[in-house]
Amino acid sequence: MTPKASSPILLFDSGLGGLSVLAALRGQLPQAPIIYAADLAGIPYGEKTEAEVAARVAGMLGRLAERTHPRLVCIACNTASTIALGMVRDVLETPIVGTVPAIKPAAAMTRTGTIGLLGTAATIRQAYVDNLEAEFAKDKRLIRHAAPELVAAAESKLRGHAPDPEIFTRAAEGLLRQPGGDAIDTVVLACTHFPLVQAELGRAFGESVQFIDGAQGIARRIAYLTQGQSFDRRHDDYAIVTGGGHSDPDLLSGFEPYGIGRIEPI
Ligand code: DGL
């Protein structure tokens, strides 16, 4: 069935990280109505077990799909996607786009053959990442580091509080100080929060390192899957959050530059 022009695309993340995907999506589909859902009561997903993440994501997306009738759901979170994408696809009838660490483009970009990967603790231990490495980077060296502090840093930055620069230094050192790490020239930002602090990471890593994330690829995939559909974005988009953040003015000011004008509780 062809969706109505007002039918939204639902973007889902544990927090504000999915806004990096939203920004890329606006570039591709400026007229698409978007609902942004953040499980702020559950953040950080990266510090949870696989079972906890899978249960939260499946439960939340089931409720959200019933409430908002999206034409497409984007899980704008690497942790949730690498753990729960298959399972959510089995239970929801809506098309679902996940977020995959950008190992394939990184393998094409690296000149030294050494790639760094920054993600959450849960993401970097997933078989999903092992499979991407085996498929797209088997002749490269992939060095992984979990940087959960960057999630909180991105959340603070968007709420108007400057994060401690030491956080970014620690993230860079976590990769560069591993054996062979001094050869890293390309870093995969395998958490949707991290592009939101890319300028700070750039200062910490120095000019010899380039970054790549999945946002543009996801936006192109969504545009492809919705080809031929009509879009009518007449009103500001809105967010739905768990955890009582809907009345937080700092949170609203984080959303506003992304065209989200109000926040509702779940
Ligand atoms: N934004 C999420 C990701 O892409 C993770 C943040 C969290 O730990 O909740 O992995």
3 — pLDDT class (breaks 50, 70, 90): very high
Mean pLDDT of the chain: 97
Q: Which of 213, 241, 257 is the last residue of a domain?
A: 213
56 domain-assigned? yes
Respond yes or no: is residue 74 known to be catalytic: no
Pocket of ligand 1 (CB under 6 A): 13-15, 17, 43-46, 77-79, 120, 123, 151, 191-193
243 — pLDDT class (breaks 50, 70, 90): very high
C-alpha 164/C-alpha 140 separation (Å) is 33
For residue 205, what is the domain's CATH number?
3.40.50.1860
Q: Are residues 200 and 158 in the same domain?
A: yes
Give me the DSSP letters along 111-143.
Answer: SSSEEEEEE-HHHHT-HHHHHHHHHH-TTSEEE
Q: Is the pLDDT of residue 1 over 80?
A: no
Q: Burial of 4 by CB count in 10 Å (0-12 exposed, 13-18 middle, 19+ buried)?
A: middle
pLDDT tens for 13-57 read 999 999 999 999 999 999 999 999 999 999 999 999 999 999 999
C-alpha 162/C-alpha 75 separation (Å) is 27
- DSSP-derived 3-state class of residue 213: coil
**Structural domain of residue 199, as residue ranges?**
103-213
Q: Are residues 162 and 191 in the same domain?
A: yes
Q: Are residues 139 and 207 in the same domain?
A: yes
pLDDT tens for 178-206 read 999 999 999 999 999 999 999 999 999 99
pLDDT tens for 137-149 read 999 999 999 999 9
For residue 203, the CA-to-ligand 1 centroid distance in Å is: 22
Catalytic residue among 65, 132, 191, 222: 191
Q: Which of 213, 230, 249 is the last residue of a domain?
A: 213
Q: Are residues 124 and 90 in the same domain?
A: no
Looking at the 3D structure of the chain, how many domains does it have?
A: 2
2 domain-assigned? no
pTM over the 0.85 mark: yes
